[in-house]
Every structure is written in structure tokens, then in C-alpha cells.
Structure 1
Amino acid sequence: MTSHSLSSRHRKLFIGLGTPVVLILLLIALWSWDWFVPLVNRETTALLGRKTTIEHLHVSVGFVPKVRVDGVRIEQPDTFKSDTTPFFTADHLLVRIRLLALLHGRTELPRIAVDTPRADIQRRQDESNNYTFASDSKKTENDRKNGSVTLPDIEEFAIRDGHLRLRDQKLRADMTSQLHTTPPTSATDRGTIVMDTTGRYAGQPIISHFVGGALLSLQNVKTPYPINLEVKNGGTRVTLKGTVNNPLAFEGTQLVLHLSGPDMSLLYPLTGVPIPQTPSYDIRGKLDYDQQHIAFKSFTGHMGSSDLSGTITVDPHQTVPFVEASLRSRRVDIQDLGGFIGAKPEEKTASEKKVDARDPNVLPDTPINVPKLRSINAHVTYKGEHIQNKQLPLDDIDAEFSVQDGAIDVKKLNFGVGTGTLASSATLKPVNDKNFAVNAKVDFSRIDLAHIMRTATGTTAQGGVIGGRFSLNSTGNSIASLMANGNGGLTLVLVKGGEISALIPAALGLELGDAVLSALGLPSHSQVECFVTDMPLNNGVASTRSMLLRTNDTRTLGRGDINFRTNKIDYSLTTRSTGFTILSFPGAFNITGPLKSPTVLPGAEILGRAAAAAGLGFVFPPLALLPTIQFGVGKGSLCEKALQEVNSNPASGKAPGGVEENAAPKGSDKKMSPTEVRAAWKKKLKH
């Protein structure tokens, strides 16, 4: 073979082999991956169920190819088309992929980087939102069939100059967040994600700062995931610091949660747990969770002037989240719990006092929020070991209640009072979104009057035992409305209660009490032997079936009404001697007008001699009251004897029911006007 023919063969072989290589090199050099852009746009739009586009696609070939997408844009869903802001945009998205891992069935992504991502998240009042994609429902169904989704192995996830806007009409939120990541600093440190948020949440200004481990650290089962969160929402402050063990597997935490603010009810938008109004608070404890529960454990702190500790556990997986709370206070100011019955838990401001002065209600009228109660089911126990309050002589509190589907079952709300107990229970069932049907009772059992007087007024009362019962059936949404619509009644007994001059001003308030004391005309050192009142409540009006005040030498009987619908009182009292000597008592007098500031005036009978025999015409049912008396203060008390004497030996000398209390003076043809009564009263007192 000649050298020429050999050279020719080599040249043909080179051309034959080199031409494809050259063509491949030319193809690579001239290839535009943008040719696939329409296909990518079409497929992603179909997958997400909304228009999705990219502007450019670049691929760097190699064993670890690099794919870069420019100009990513995801539009709003059709129901949000009126919003011109796109749902998501990013200037650049870069992904690196290991081909060898793909050949072995694994997805390994050494790096994902997003440059200038911007997202707009919205939820409207009707629950519609712009972040639910068409693929989400399919993904959820597949997850149920196949188990949890297997995430790819990502070594680094970088975000530069990210922006997120969240608008939620139900939460009254409009917040803007800026976020970025920091790069890894070592083989064990994957960097952090940092997010700063400003705006409004629950109608209040919000500022938050979050620093967490890199998103990829969530997959690291060996290294706890670090969290450092600070939130200021209005006056509420929240900090959460610590680590989470294997977050995707719910293996526990080492987190410390610190909450503080002016009112715990303001926590509702942040926690979803409705709490009544409280005074300022500051509590700190451990936050933990597992696959079933979130727990705020062993927290301690204060609420107002009361200390507070305990554990709260939440099961968020039920249709309505369930809360289990065990709370305790060593020392509690009962005023701090006022919000639980609709009262203001803290001292009122000057403007609030002015508003309160114009309000005719003497009972709390703050409505209970029925829809909020339906958002949670709960079982709560609370023990206050020592109550400190200058106005209420209560020693301790033991409470247990549950909330189920908006209904409240107060299993017990018991207070220790000296050697006695004030025990109550109630059920409140919602009848609509505003009102409850209520059935409640309160038992007064052997309550020590001397303890009450000493604690509440600083005065003393020798002995004295209080007993009785209060019952209420009603419909309403506050203490005031429940009493205004209520049926039931109060039976109360006091045996050997000390000096009347100390009791009446303490019970009625200094100004009104002194006026009543003067009107009674009793000696200042009269000793109370028995006090009994039996007042049925019908449609918000408490009338008098029986009212007896017995001292060592007098008997005072009362009759009249207290109207909780109009917040007015119309009551009369008459005092007579029980001895043979007829004392000079002024006769009957009336307490009338608004409950907040009633007027004490004499009745017309004081001007005539008929006063000596008038006005004890009240029918007492002593046998009906005996069971309550015996339960409250024990058998054989002076009150049992006093009730019998009222019917068998009336001080007026006439049988009960035989005399008109407000009769005009003998020989008079007309009733006296209020002006004439006042003038006569002043004249008589001068003598």
C-alpha cells in the first residue's frame, strides 16, 4: 500500500470522526436553551393552575450541571386578577444537580440560590386566598396514599434580598418582611435565615426579628435547629429562644417562651386562645411539642399584683383545638380576676370613671364573646392559695371549669371565708351568637362574720355566722343582663352579728349606711341577734318574701323591690320595740331611686300616733326557711326562734298582714307630698 493511499485513508477517517465532534461542538456553541422556554412556561402553568413564565433558561453542562432561570413570574389566580401585583417574582433562580446521584435514584442538589424573590400572600374575609395551587389537592391526596413526601438532599439554600408581603383580612394584618440568608461558616454550620417584619397585625403595629438556622438544617436529625424570635405587637411582647430537635419528626425542644403585655386578651390573635381581660402580665416558661400537643410548661410570672404559674397544653389537631390548663397562684388579688366576670381587672382611669358614673348598671355589663368561645374547647383548673384584697374578705379560691362547643360548665368556683365556704357552680349554654342560657347557684355555708368585718373594714364583730343560698336561671351575655332577665332568688341568714352601727355602713357603703342607720333610730351599740332575708327574683325584679333584722331589743321588718331591669330600688323598713317599753323610733322610712345612689326618706306614718301600732304586716314563712337556715348556720339558732316570734307575737299587737304600712296620719284625707314628708322628718329629728 502506498504512502499516498494510507494518508488518504487517515484523512478520510479523521474527517469521518471529526465531523460529528465538530458538529457537536458547534451545536453546543450555538445552542440556545431558550428554545425550551415556551415548553417550560406551558408545563408550569398547567401544573400550578395559573399563568407562570420565565424569560431565559441557561444550562451549564457537566457532571454537576448548573441550571439558571431568569425572570421568573407567577401570576395571581383568577379570583385575584384585580390585583396588578404578581403573586411571585424572582430575578434569578439557580439550581445545581448531581447527575451521578440521579443514576442511583437520589436527588442531590448541592446549591439552590434565589435572587430578589418577591411574594404577595393574601387571604380575604371569606377565606379565599391566593396561595392555594391546583397541584396542592393532588399532592395532599398522594401524600395520604404514599406517606410523607421525600425531600431532596439540598446542601445550600441561599436567598438574597427577599421581600414578602402578607395581607390577611380575617387577622386584620398587613405586614412586609425582608429576608436573606447568611452563608455557612464551617462544615457543621449551614448558615442562617434572617427575617425582619413590620406592619400591622390584629389592627396593632407589629415589629418582629427572626434569626433561625438555615432552611436546610431542618433536615438535620443530629443537630438541633436554632430559633431566636422577638415580636412586638402593640403593647404585647413575645420572645422565643432555644433549639428544636429534628423539627420534621417532632422530637421536642429546648425553647424558652417569654410573654408580657398590658392585657392577656390581646394574645388571642397570636395564640388563637380566647382569654378574658386581665391586668398587665409577665410570664416565662418552656415551650415544647410532640406529634400531638404543644405545651407551655412550668411557666412562672405575674398577672397584675398576683403571681401565676402552671402548665398549658394545646391539642391543635382536633377540629376545634383543645386546651388543658392547670394554673396556680400563691398570692392573688381577686381584682386581677375581674375580667372573668366582665369587670375591669385594673383601676379605672378618670375618663372611665366618668363613663361608669353615667352607666346605671351596678353590675358588670361587659358581654361574653360567644363566637370566640366556640373557637376553642378547654378544661381549666385554678387554685389561689391566699387572696389579698382590701375590699373582699376572701381567703383562697379553688376553681374548675370547662368549655365545650361554646358552652361553659363551671364545676366549682369556691372561696374560703374564715372557717366557712362560699361555693358556686353554673352552666352557661349558648342560645345564639350573643346570649347564654344560665343556671347557677351559690351556697353560703357557716361564713364567719367577724372575719369579714376584720378583713373588709378593720372593725370587729363578736361572733356571727352567715349562711344561705342564691340561685339564678336566666338568659343574657353579661352579669347585668343575666340579673335583668333572671329568675331565682336569695335567702340569707346572719346569727349574732355584732353591733349594727358597724354592720350597716360596711354593707351599704358609708354614706348610704349612715343615712339608714340614722333613719332606723337604733342605739349605736345595738347588738344584732338575727338577720334573715328571703327575696325571690322574677324576671329581673327581686321582691321581698321576708326580711327581718332582730337586735337585743328591737325588730326591723322590710318589704319592697329591687329592679335589676331599671337598676332602681323601692324599699321600706319599719323598726319597733320588742320589749314592754315603747321606744321613740321614727317609724317607717323608704329607700328609693337608682341603685347607685338611692335616697333615704321617711314614710308618711311618722306624723301620727298610729305609728306605734303600724307596719308589721309582712307574712313570714318560717317553716320554709328553716332548711336553709339550718344548712347555713346550724340548728337551734336564734333566727329559728325569731322567725317563730314574728308570726306568734308581733310587736305591733296585730296579726301580720292586717295593717297598711304607708297609711296617712289618723284623720287625714290625703297622702303627704315628698316635700311635706321631708319637712316633717326634719322637724321630728329636732325634737
Structure 2
Amino acid sequence: MRLARKIVLWIIGVWLALVVVLLIVVATFDWNRLKPTINAQVSDTIGRPFAINGDLSVHWQRERGASGMESWVPWPAFVAQDIRVGNPDWASQPIFAHLEAVHFRVAPLPLLAHRVEIPVLYLTQPTIDLERDAQNRTNWDVALAGSGSPSTWQLDLRAIGFDRGHVSLNDAVSKTSLQVTMETLQHAIPYDQIVAQQSSDAREQATKTVGASARTALARESGKEGNEPGKTGAAYQFVWQAVGKYQGLTVDGNGKTGGVLALQQADQAFPLQADVHVGDSHIALVGTLTDPLHLAALDIRLWFSGTSMAKLYPLTGVTLPDTPPYATEGHLRANLKRGASHFSYDHFRGRVGGSDLAGSLTFDTGGARPKLAGTLSSQLLRFADLAPLIGADSNAQKQQRGDATPQPADKVLPVEPFRTDRWRAMDADVGFNANRIVREAQLPIDGLSTHVAMDNGVLTLDPLNFALAGGTVASNLHIDGSITPMKGAIRMKARHLKLKELFPTFEPMRTSFGEINGDAALDARGNSVSELMGTSTGELKLLMNDGAISKTLLETAGLNVANVVIAKLFGDKTVKINCAASDMAATNGLYETRLFVFDTEDATVRVNGTINFANEKLDLDVRPASKGLRILSLRSPLYVKGTLKNPDVGVQPGPLILRGGGALALGVFAAPVAALLPLVAASRGAPDNTCATVLEQMRGSSKARPAPLPAKAKAPATR
């Protein structure tokens, strides 16, 4: 027994001695002897030069936060000084990264299971040079060399700690040159304090860009965030600044971050804050990032402001329309994955010009093309702010953008091409509603409702509905921008548009009970208004009863040709219109009058001929038929030649038309009249609908002269 006990004691003693010797060797070992081996091994693995030029040391200490066995076993703490990582041969600079020191601890017990567990890796004063060349080669992508078989070792890095440092970026693809510096804050700043400060700064910037109304709109979102779980305890420890160029635009920004980025713990939020100006666009954010290894949880408050939303495309990749100055504030959440990211901009609100805007949007990059979807609404929408979205922005705005196309001196229809170059960059599925629309020219649009769909360059607005002048305009628009020239189609029905609301400043209309009803169905090809009208095919129908017209009104409306014709027929006086009816057929831009007539107290005027929008030439025959002997000058027909820009209106040569002859000739228009009867049915609710009487007369036999209008129907519109 004594021998056996002695043997056991000897074995224990030898083992303890070996452990003590091993600990002494490890504790006193000069780790710098391993640097050549480490440098060579790492260089071979990453395929570029790697060197630890400074001291490499290991210190042993017990881990305070450990429990169980790990609390008894000392942990090695490694410190490597002056580390340099080289660039690939094609890079313009020799050094990719330089760190004054790297600190990290390793849990010893997991090493027995071939797992390297590092709680925190601290990077001291890093200097990093990021570069991408014109061939799209990047120096931050490292292809690790392998042995061909999977390694039995696993790396478990829990977090990365930062220190003050410098990062430069030179990107030939995006034409970006940035210099970013990071410094330590004198003391940590709580998350809530940064939220309040950034909110104030963003609203101040929005006020400068859009006006005082932006501050009021954005302030409605204040107080809704800042005390969310996982954010209250977050603190900012570093401040950064960035200067440089992005696609030729000046970049100037600053912000703050936390000190330690948790790579795996989803409950440990890393605070972020940024306030960046790119050209005249301002982007600000404050929020948190968690689970950065999977880029899965970006949760921030986001502010945008600038002179046009279209300028955000290089920054966001989202195709947005040209707009007036804008400012928005909302809540951005993101699930970031390579090639399949999802963004949601929730419950945002703001201003676009003089209009308010609110809603929620999502943006997904996982399909064949990125897709924007969601809903938008506006309580008050100024038509001037809506105009750029439909290509109706002013020449001054286009010149400011530098894309204005000179308008030919002899043309009226705009030749400015539509900007469809970005239509195929993404898809869209967005609903939009505006409760009230205001236009400076007092066009009484009361509301707008539409659903915008973009699919591989094909734009559809279905429906595209307006509440206009006490009536409705129901339409749908289809434009195929994936082909050149683009192909378009529009279907429109206008019902019960009240004349007194459509022309509120025209005194003779103020007491009118008249209204306008109309239908349009047109197909066309072209990349401008001029080209579309010059190739349009389809038909237009319009019916107006109990209205009025004058030379002054037509001048105000910009109807140059009609203005000259009315002046020739009636002079400068206001003319009461019992009924105006038009049915025109279009073929490749040539509009032919199947029926064009307007009936007044003094005469019935019929217009025959064509308007060629392809070359803007006119060829019309205006034939008035006087009622009785009221206006002798109306016995002569007129011709309308020339162009839309320079019309030539004169008296037809030849004998005078017999009094009443024009009215007799109207009987040949029985078929076109029948085509307009549905519009009469649509306006049955209007009292004293004189168009019903006029059109019924025109359907009569060409051998019988139409009966005179009833006395009540001939009464002035201001009765």
C-alpha cells in the first residue's frame, strides 16, 4: 500500500511540476520569436503582406466576468504592436491597414474543443485605405487560401472595440473620394440626448431648405422614439467627421458612434448618428445597429431634405421624381442582406414645396429589380408641386437642372423629352391620395386618387381619378417606357364638370347651371408631348351646355386659334353658348371633325376640317348660320389655315351663304350626333339642358329646317 501511495504521489508531483514548469515557460516565453512564423502564415492565408513590426506579448489574468471553471483558469491577453497589412499589387497605395496595437483575450478552455473564443477585439488607432479601381476590384475583399479540407478550428469573435483612427476611400466606380477621421469623446453622451439634438438640427436644416412649414410638419413626429427597449442604455463614445467628393458632389458630414460593436448579441445595440450634406441634399439619422455580422437590424430615425428628391438616386438607388424642395422625417428599419435587403420607412411625414406628405414605404432588392411599394397621402397638395412628377415642371426648373431642351420658335406643343432613363432601374407599387389640390390659376381640383405601378419600365396609373369643378374625371394611363419611342395610352371620362366652378373668375359663368361632359380614348408613341400628339390615334368627345365664351377668356386660356376665330365671328363681346358639341377622330396625329358645332343665341356655328398635330397645321372651315337678321356679318364662312403658333383666319372667297343654309346642312350629321347622346344622358341632372334640344334638331331630316329653340332654352346664362 505504501508503495502504491508513493507511486501515486510521485505521479501527481511530476504532473504538478510539469504544469508549473509549463506555466513558467509560457509566462516567461518571448512571444516575439513567433512573429516570423505568424507573419508568414497570415501572409500566405490572406494573399498579401502582413507583419507585426512591434512587440508581441501575452499577459495572464483571471477573467472577472467568467464563472465556473473558467473563473479559476487564467486567460491569456495578447497585445500586438505596430501591425501592417499590405495592399494587392494593383492598388495605388502599398498599405491597406495600419494599427498601432491590437488587444484581445482568449478563453482557454474552449481551445480544448478547437474553438478560439475572443470576447472583444480592440483596434488601437487604425488607419485604413479603402480602394476600388475602374475594373471593380476592391482591396477590402480578401480571398483566404485554404488547404482544400475544412478546418477543425472555429473562430468565435463576440465584439470589436474601436479607438480614434482614420479611414480613406477612393472609389473609381462611384467617383468617390472621402476622408473620415474618428476621435474619442471626452465623456460618453446618452442616446436620448443625441436624439433630441439631431431632431432639432434636422428641423433647422429643413426650415432653411423648404421653409417654416417644414419645421411644423416634422415636429408632429417628435417624442415618438427615444425610450425604446435596447436604446435607453446606449451611449455614444466617438465622434467622426467626413469630407470629400461623391460623384462630383461635395460631401461634408459628421456623427457619433458607440465604442464597442457587438457582432453576435442582438440585445446589445450599437448607437449610430450621422449628419451629412451631399451637394444640396441633407441626410441625418440617429439609431442603432444590432447583429452586424448578418446586417439584420438597422433601426433609425431618418431625416431627408434637399432641393429635389431625384437627387437622392445616387445615394439611395431609389428612383424618385423631380420635386420642389422637400423635407421628411420617419422611422427606417432595415434587414440588410447581400442582394436581398428590405427597407421600411414607416409613418413618415414632411413637406414637398408647399404640400404636405405622409405615409409608409418599403423598398426590396431581392427580385429581378428593386421594388418600391407603399401608400402616400396629402391633405393639401399644390399643383405646382405635383407638376414636375408628371413632366410639367417649368423651363426655369429644367434649366436649373441643366436638361432643358430649346423649344422651336414655330411650335406650340412641348418638345421636351420625358425622362424615362431610370424607369427600368426599379419597379413600384404605390397608392397616392390627395384630399385637396390647390393651383395658382384657380383650377378647382378638389382631390386626386391614383395607384402607380412600374414594372420593368412600364408605367401604369390605374386609376387616375380627380375631383374637378364639382364633377369627376376618371381615367387610366399606360406608358411603356421600356421601348423607344415609348408607347402610351389614355382612357378618360369627365362627368358633371360645373362651368361656374371651372371658370370662377369669369363673370358670365358665375350663375350658370351648365356643365361639361367628355370622353377620350387615345393611343400614341413618342418621347415628348409633341411626338405623342403627333402620333395619337383614337377619338375625343366633348359636350358643354349653358355656357359662355369671349375673346378675353380664350386669351387667358392660351387658346390662340379659338381666340382669333371668336374675334372674327363675334368681336370682343361675351357670347352665350346654348350648346357646344365635338366629336373628333384621330389617326396618326391627324384630328378630323366628325362633328364640331356650337349653338349661340345669334347663330349656329359648324366647324369642319382637320388639325394635324404632327406638323401643327390647320385646315378648318367655319360656317356660321345666323338666326334671323341679328348679325349680318355671320353670313360669311371663314377659313382657318396656318399653324397652331401662327394661325391664318379669314373670310372664305365666293358668294355668301344663304341665311339658314348652314343649319339645314347639319342634318347630315345624324351619326356623329348619335355618338354624343351618351354624354347628354350623363348630364340629364342639369336643369334646362339645351344640348338635348340642339342635338335632337341635328338628328332631324336634312330636308326639314330645325325648329327654333324654346324661349326658356334661349335665355341668357346669367338668368
TM bin, normalised by shorter chain, reads 0.7 to 0.9
Deviates more, 1:371-380 or 1:54-63: 54-63
Q: State whether structure 2 residue 161 is matched by structure 1 residue 157.
A: yes
The offset of 1:374, in angstroms, is 2.1
Per the alignment, do residues 203 and 574 of structure 1 end up closer, same or farther by CA in structure 2, a change over 3 Å counting? farther
Q: Deviations over 1:138-182 (max 9, x none)?
A: 99x999xx9xx975134x62334312213142x343333223455
Gaps of 5+ in 2: 1-16, 61-75, 191-232, 707-719
Q: Deviations over 1:344-367 (max 9, x none)?
A: 169659999997664655455544
Aligned counterpart in structure 2 of residue 629 of structure 1, from 648, 661, 679: 679
Q: State whether structure 2 residue 210 is matched by structure 1 residue 211.
A: no
The offset of 1:232, in angstroms, is 0.7
Per the alignment, do residues 436 and 65 of structure 1 end up closer, same or farther by CA in structure 2, a change over 3 Å counting? same
The match for 1:399 is 450
Aligned counterpart in structure 2 of residue 167 of structure 1, from 167, 171, 174: 171
| 2:690 counterpart letter in structure 1 | L
The match for 2:225 is none
Q: State whether structure 2 residue 86 is matched by structure 1 residue 74.
A: yes
What's the TM-score, normalizing by structure 2? 0.74
The match for 1:491 is 541
Mapped to 2, the partners of 1:87 and 1:369 lie a distance apart of 44
Deviates more, 1:176-185 or 1:91-100: 176-185
Residues 81 and 102 in structure 2, CA contact (< 8 A), matched pair in contact too: yes
| 2:524 counterpart letter in structure 1 | S
Q: State whether structure 2 residue 550 is matched by structure 1 residue 524.
A: no
The match for 1:179 is 182
Residues 457 and 506 in structure 1, CA contact (< 8 A), matched pair in contact too: no
Deviates more, 1:631-640 or 1:205-214: 631-640
The match for 1:44 is 42
Per the alignment, do residues 461 and 61 of structure 1 end up closer, same or farther by CA in structure 2, a change over 3 Å counting? same
Residues 448 and 466 in structure 1, CA contact (< 8 A), matched pair in contact too: yes
Identity of aligned residues (%): 22
Residues 279 and 346 in structure 1, CA contact (< 8 A), matched pair in contact too: no
| 2:521 counterpart letter in structure 1 | S
Per the alignment, do residues 182 and 518 of structure 1 end up closer, same or farther by CA in structure 2, a change over 3 Å counting? closer
The match for 1:98 is 106
Q: State whether structure 2 residue 35 is matched by structure 1 residue 33.
A: no
1:585 counterpart SS class: helix
Residues 453 and 459 in structure 2, CA contact (< 8 A), matched pair in contact too: yes
The match for 2:694 is 642
Residues 541 and 676 in structure 2, CA contact (< 8 A), matched pair in contact too: no
Residues 444 and 632 in structure 1, CA contact (< 8 A), matched pair in contact too: no
The offset of 1:28, in angstroms, is 6.6
Mapped to 1, the partners of 2:260 and 2:501 lie a distance apart of 63
Aligned counterpart in structure 1 of residue 473 of structure 2, from 413, 422, 431: 422
1:625 counterpart SS class: helix
| 1:195 counterpart letter in structure 2 | W
Name the count of aligned residue pairs. 617
| 2:117 counterpart letter in structure 1 | T
The offset of 1:418, in angstroms, is 3.2
Aligned counterpart in structure 2 of residue 470 of structure 1, from 520, 529, 536: 520
Q: How do 1:526-605 and structure 2 match up within 5 A?
A: 526-579=575-628, 583-585=632-634, 587-595=636-644, 597-605=645-653
Residues 122 and 166 in structure 1, CA contact (< 8 A), matched pair in contact too: yes
Indicate the RMSD between aligned Cα atoms, in angstroms: 4.3
The match for 1:675 is none
The match for 2:462 is 411
Residues 444 and 467 in structure 1, CA contact (< 8 A), matched pair in contact too: yes
Residues 505 and 512 in structure 1, CA contact (< 8 A), matched pair in contact too: no
Mapped to 1, the partners of 2:569 and 2:247 lie a distance apart of 57
Per the alignment, do residues 84 and 522 of structure 1 end up closer, same or farther by CA in structure 2, a change over 3 Å counting? closer
Q: How do 1:216-615 and structure 2 match up within 5 A?
A: 216-217=261-262, 219-244=264-289, 255-289=300-334, 293-344=342-393, 358=408, 362-391=412-441, 392-432=443-483, 434-454=484-504, 460=510, 462-498=512-548, 500=550, 504-509=554-559, 514-521=563-570, 524-579=573-628, 583-585=632-634, 587-595=636-644, 597-605=645-653, 608-609=655-656
The match for 2:207 is none
Per the alignment, do residues 571 and 306 of structure 1 end up closer, same or farther by CA in structure 2, a change over 3 Å counting? farther
2:633 counterpart SS class: coil
The offset of 1:325, in angstroms, is 2.3
| 1:176 counterpart letter in structure 2 | Q
Aligned counterpart in structure 2 of residue 115 of structure 1, from 125, 129, 137: 125
Q: Deviations over 1:583-620 (max 9, x none)?
A: 3326333444443x333531342x74457688787863
Mapped to 1, the partners of 2:502 and 2:81 lie a distance apart of 79
What's the TM-score, normalizing by structure 1? 0.77
Mapped to 1, the partners of 2:403 and 2:552 lie a distance apart of 28
Residues 310 and 321 in structure 2, CA contact (< 8 A), matched pair in contact too: yes
1:107 counterpart SS class: strand
The match for 1:670 is none
Q: Deviations over 1:273-316 (max 9, x none)?
A: 11111111122222234587422222222111111111112233
Mapped to 2, the partners of 1:285 and 1:61 lie a distance apart of 49
1:159 counterpart SS class: coil
The offset of 1:507, in angstroms, is 4.3
1:642 counterpart SS class: helix
The offset of 1:263, in angstroms, is 0.8
